[in-house]
Structure 1
Amino acid sequence: MAADDSAEKTEQPTAKKLQDAAEKGQIARSKDLGTAFVLIGSACAILMFGKMLAMGILTIGQRMLRLDQKDMFEVNSMFTAWGEVGKELIPPMAGIFAVILAAAFIGNTLLGGFNFSMQAAAPKASKMSVFKGFKRMFGLQAFVELLKSFLKVIVVVGIAYLLLKFFFDDIMSLSLMSEPNNIESALYFLAWIFLGLCSSVSVIALVDAPYQKWNHIKQLKMSLQEIKDEHKNSEGSPEIKQRIRRTQMEMSMKRMMQEVPKADVIVTNPTHYAIALKYDQGKFKAPVVVAKGVDEVAMHIRKIANEHKIPVLESPALARSIFHTTKVDHPIPEQLFAAVAQVLAYVYQLKMHKKGKGTRPKALAKDLPIPDDYRH
């Protein structure tokens, strides 16, 4: 039962799920919203540039129908006429196309944003499946589209009837008007009727856009197991991450043990802690911790030190203090300089004594100068 519950797609899609869907071309889109923007944009474009277009058409008609004898015998008269046609028609047509293009872009990107997907454009064998084709034809989405089509017809026919009834007397009076007023008025009525019809489509779009958004999210909903799997794939399997950390620790430990033979002294607890210190006056301003560890690691450090005849000194307080305050490959704190200096001085004197160049040094003081804040 728990497995069945976890398989239910009850969770909202993650950001990665939405991004993967967008890369495949699966985004919320409302065809009715795009259509409404294009139609309303077209009506607005006609209202904005319709008068200029009508006057241009009238000017061209007058020019073409009023030919004199000079125009008939002029070789370049046709090219001149075409130039006048372009001069009159190109500006209003360019304005109309620009408005429609902007409306089409806004309408088709308003809901799901701009998205270009090569995966969506690639041919798919599943689209050629007869079974899936019938499923799309008689599925829930097809039924919703059929209902929207009926609703469109009812709304558009109803709005068209109301608009024709409202403008009927004005339309009939156009026959009594002279040009160019009749052309301008006819275009004016046509634009407003067209705008009213287009606005009726926007009613469908206002219902369809939220539905498409809801349906898109519904299709991408995830189960709890899918969310866990996605997190595992994106963040990495815990077992793999643990293995990587273990490998990194092993490599770090190996490098650290390779530095132990280069140390000047090993400070111990005596059994639980071991700190390998190196001081190179030409390279470092202070002694550096080249290796440190507790328990088994500490024992291994002492073993390597004995093999390479590195001095091992017992100073529990100093060993604990350095272990808790200093990282490997970092210099010791300034507050521990005095204590470490005594250790290094003892080691130097001991080396000189073994070479027969000095007396044996006194035993290292048990109470080294360690500040209370650095005692652990």
Structure 2
Amino acid sequence: MADEDDTTERTEDPTQKRLDDAHDRGDVAKSQEVNTWFMISGATLVLSTLSGSIGGIEVPLRNLIANSWMIRTDGPDLLALARNLEFAMIAALGVPLLMLLIAAIAGNILQHRLVWSGEQLKPKLSKISPLAGAKRIFGKQAVANFAKGLFKLVTLGAVMTAILWPERHRLEAMLRFEPATIPGLILTLTLQLMGAVVAMLALVAIADYLFQYRQWYERRKMSLREMKEEFKQSEGDPRVKGRMRQLRQARMKKRMMAAVPKASVIITNPTHFSVALTYERGMSAPVCVAKGADNIAFKIREIARQHDIPIVENVPLARALYATVEIDEEIPVEHYHAVAEIIGYVMGLKRGLSARRV
């Protein structure tokens, strides 16, 4: 029903997704004149090149009529006769019919890629709506079909007159010709007529396809509201995306806070940043297990105090680590020396505390 709606608000060119969706529904730009041209061109080609093979069925049919009195009508012989005639028909008409089939398929493939859809077969109320019927009768499509039919009628009449009028005397004299010469004459005139018709219909087919494509494209145009809806469907609703981002941040925060008690040291800028690092012997470099700014930084320091994790104030290093290292990543090489001094200092403190306890 969307195609029947008012299109005055549809000012935007259709997106590729909208065009693909229309194709999947079987709604494509298609001109019957293109199909007609291919079929007539195929028939002309068949007559001009394979008329001899089509005439090959003449011999078995002539023999059948000439020797009809000798034909046995019992079961096996009659079946054999039918089988021989069938093979003769297939041999004579198989290739021409195949060429016509190829021409019909080519006429569709040239206009659009193959469509496998039953959407157009579904019943729609718009097809029996009086208003929709009136639009079809008095719309642009109806006017174009009328003009196209009138042009073909006038042009075809002119072409037939131009070809047959000079031959009128010979056509009158055909009554006195030998029967064997008449098929050749008729074939020649037929090929002349069909060649002229093919040339004339080529212009009609091109013009009609351009018109049909333009009409189809205009029906596929979109309003701003439709474009926004499609963007939401393809890119996701911003509200949903925002909610998903909040959930991811909440999960990441929870995982960070659970990892803080395993940290070796907290490097902090007391007013803004906290970065929790862990290091054990055998590791190639310290790893960031948590980081945060403002309230999260305060929470990291609070958990660290609860679990006696050393907190070291180093403003420039805290800022640099917060900006350059991500969770579960090793610290950058340029910070190895500064972090190594801090971790060495912290480990020294731990060893001193352990010695005093002993």
Give TM class, smaller chain.
0.7 to 0.9
Which range is displaced more, 225-234 or 70-79? Answer: 70-79
Q: Which amino acid aligns with 2:306?
A: E
Structure 1 unaligned segments of length 5 or more: list them: 1-5, 360-376
Tell me, in whole angstroms, the C-alpha distance in 1 between the residues paired with 2:181 and 2:136. 52
CA 1:169/1:64 → structure 2, altered by over 3 Å: closer, same or farther? farther
Letter in 1 for 2:123: P
The Cα RMSD (Å) is: 2.9
Q: Secondary structure at the match of 2:292?
A: strand
The reply on whether 1:247 has 2:247 as its aligned counterpart is yes
What residue identity is the alignment partner of 2:120? A
8 Å CA contact 1:18–1:220 kept in 2: the answer is yes
Partner of residue 323, structure 1: 322
State the TM-score, normalized to the length of structure 2.
0.86
Structure 1's 86 and 199: CA in aligned 2 closer, same or farther, altered over 3 A? farther
User: Shift of residue 340 of structure 1?
Assistant: 2.3
CA–CA distance in 2 between the matches of 1:243 and 1:200? Answer: 63
SS class of match (1:17): helix
Check conservation: 1:174, 1:185, Cα contact below 8 A: no
Corresponding position: 1:266 with 2:278: no
1:288 and 2:269 matched: no
Distance 2:203 2:160 in 1: 14
In the TM superposition, what whole-angstrom CA distance separates every residue of 1:71-93 from its partner, at most 9, and x where no partner exists? Answer: 56998654554454344432231
> 1 CA distance for matches of 2:328 and 2:302?
20
Task: Give the whole-Å Cα distance in 1 for the aligned partners of 2:341 and 2:160.
Answer: 102
Aligned-partner residue type, residue 263 of structure 1: A
Deviation of 1:136 after TM superposition, in Å, equals 2.2
Q: 1:119 to 1:281 in 2, by over 3 A?
A: farther
CA distance in 1, matches of 2:73, 2:304: 115
Q: Distance in 2 between matches of 1:214 and 1:132?
A: 20
1:51 paired residue number? 52
Q: CA-to-partner distance for each residue in 1:240-260, whole Å, 9 max, x for gaps?
A: 323322222222122111111
Alignment of 1:128-139 (within 5 A): 128-139=128-139
Flag the 1:52–1:311 CA change in 2: closer, same or farther, 3 A: same
Structure 1 residue 149: Cα displacement: 1.9
Residues 253 and 354 of structure 1: CA distance in aligned 2, closer, same or farther (over 3 Å) = same
Aligned to 2:267, what secondary structure does the other structure show? strand
Q: Secondary structure at the match of 2:277?
A: strand
TM-score, normalising length from structure 1?
A: 0.82
- 1:148-188 deviation digits (Å, cap 9, x = unpaired): 22222212222122222244455556566656554344334
- Whole-angstrom CA distance in 1 between matches of 2:95 and 2:164: 28
Report the counterpart of residue 354 of structure 1 in structure 2: 353
State how far apart, in whole Å, the 2-side matches of 1:281 and 1:262 are: 14
Q: CA separation in 2, counterparts of 1:169 and 1:92? A: 34
Q: Please state if 1:336 is matched with 2:315.
A: no
Task: Write out aligned runs for 1:116-265 (5 A).
Answer: 116-168=116-168, 171=171, 178=178, 182-265=182-265
- How has the CA–CA distance of structure 1 residues 167 and 49 changed in structure 2, closer, same or farther, with 3 Å as cutoff? farther
Looking at structure 2, the residues matched to 73 and 291 of structure 1 have their Cα atoms a distance apart, in angstroms, of: 99
Q: 1:302 to 1:232 in 2, by over 3 A?
A: same
The alpha carbon displacement at 1:316 in A equals: 2.5
SS of match in other structure, 1:355:
helix
Structure 1 partner of 2:3: none
Give the match's secondary structure for 1:115: coil
Residue identity matched to 2:25: K
**Partner letter of residue 90 of structure 2?**
I
Q: Give me the whole-angstrom Cα distance separating, in 2, the residues matched to 1:176 and 1:357.
A: 137
> Could you tell me whether the CA contact under 8 Å between 1:175 and 1:182 is conserved in 2?
no
What runs of 5+ residues in structure 2 fail to find an aligned partner? 1-6
SS in 2 for 1:313: strand
Maintained 8 Å contact 1:171/1:189: no
How many residues of Structure 1 are paired with residues of Structure 2 in the alignment?
Answer: 352
Structure 1 residues 102 and 166, CA gap change in structure 2 (3 angstroms): farther
Whole-Å Cα distance in 2 between the matches of residues 248 and 75 of structure 1?
83
Using the TM superposition, give the Cα deviation of residue 305 of structure 1 relative to its aligned residue in structure 2, in angstroms: 0.4
Partner in structure 1 of residue 41 of structure 2: 40
| Local SS of the residue matching 1:356 | helix
Distance of 1:128 and 1:271 partners within structure 2:
74
Letter of the aligned partner of 1:10 in structure 2?
T
| Structure 1 position 113, deviation (Å) | 3.0
**What letter corresponds to residue 350 of structure 1 in structure 2?**
L
Kept after mapping to 2: 8 A contact 1:50/1:92? no
CA deviations 1:52-83 (Å, max 9, x no partner) are 212x2331243123328765699865455445
Measured in 2, the distance between the counterparts of 1:336 and 1:169 equals 105
